[in-house]
Amino acid sequence: MDCKYCSRKCQCAGRQKNGTQRYFCRTCKKYQQKAYLYQACYGTVNKTIKLLVCESVGIRGISRVLKIAVGTVLSRIKLIAAAIAKPPIPLHQSALEVDELWTYIRRKDNEYWLAYALDKATRKVIDFVIGKRTKGTLKILIDSLLSAAPKKIKTDKLTIYRRLIPQNLHQYTPFGTNHIERKNLSIRTHIKRLSRRTFCFSRNILLLESCVKIYFWG
């Protein structure tokens, strides 16, 4: 067998407890096998998980498709999301659209908001926040947007926005948020836990945040 790291010939080095032939590379000083029962050891797994999260496959679905444990899928999603850096907010953008998506964690009455901002010109998600359905949650998002001095912020008619955004920047005319409303539909289709009429739902906020982060910036 050729070494996986340096492609030189490996020598046989006994067997594992379950009888699988073991190999040893003299150059890398590493033991290895031709194939592993534990599927999550392969380097492409994280990439596939990332793709499946964005294609409306649930945690247990990923676990079944890739033949890896549910716990491994969960921990990998958290790891992948933690490695994604938030892109810097572009300064002085001409128009941003802000909207919020209703969701819940564990129980329907435990309501949460996914509020996010879309750059109208590039259609890219600039920033998002997940939190309780309160003014405080939206304030975090709006304050971060205001720090980048946009020329206009478009929202729906929710009164909270009027208290948070300075009047000269704020616009809440009908059809002003068309692009972000359309994006909402995509998100609900592409992330399983945000789908409507499904029995998939979030059990913890960190994982909801991780999946959304992978979808937006991964």
Residues near Zn ion (CB under 5 A) = 3, 5-6, 25, 27-28
**Cβ 23 to Zn ion, closest distance in Å?**
10
| Residue 98 to residue 119: CA distance in whole angstroms | 9
Nearer to Zn ion, 31 or 38 (CB): 31
| Residue 196 to residue 199: CA distance in whole angstroms | 9
Q: Give the bridge partners for 127, in sequence order.
A: 117
**Cβ 7 to Zn ion, closest distance in Å?**
7
**Cβ 13 to Zn ion, closest distance in Å?**
13
DSSP secondary structure of 198-213: -S--BS-HHHHHHHHH
Nearer to Zn ion, 30 or 139 (CB): 30
Q: What tokens were used for 14?
A: 């006994």
Contact 184, 101 (CB under 8 A): yes
Q: Counting every residue, how long is the chain?
A: 218
Nearer to Zn ion, 3 or 40 (CB): 3
**Cβ 43 to Zn ion, closest distance in Å?**
16
Residue nearest to Zn ion (CB): 3
**Cβ 3 to Zn ion, closest distance in Å?**
3
Nearer to Zn ion, 30 or 133 (CB): 30
21 Cβ neighbours under 8 A, 6+ residues apart: 12, 15, 33, 34
Nearer to Zn ion, 3 or 207 (CB): 3
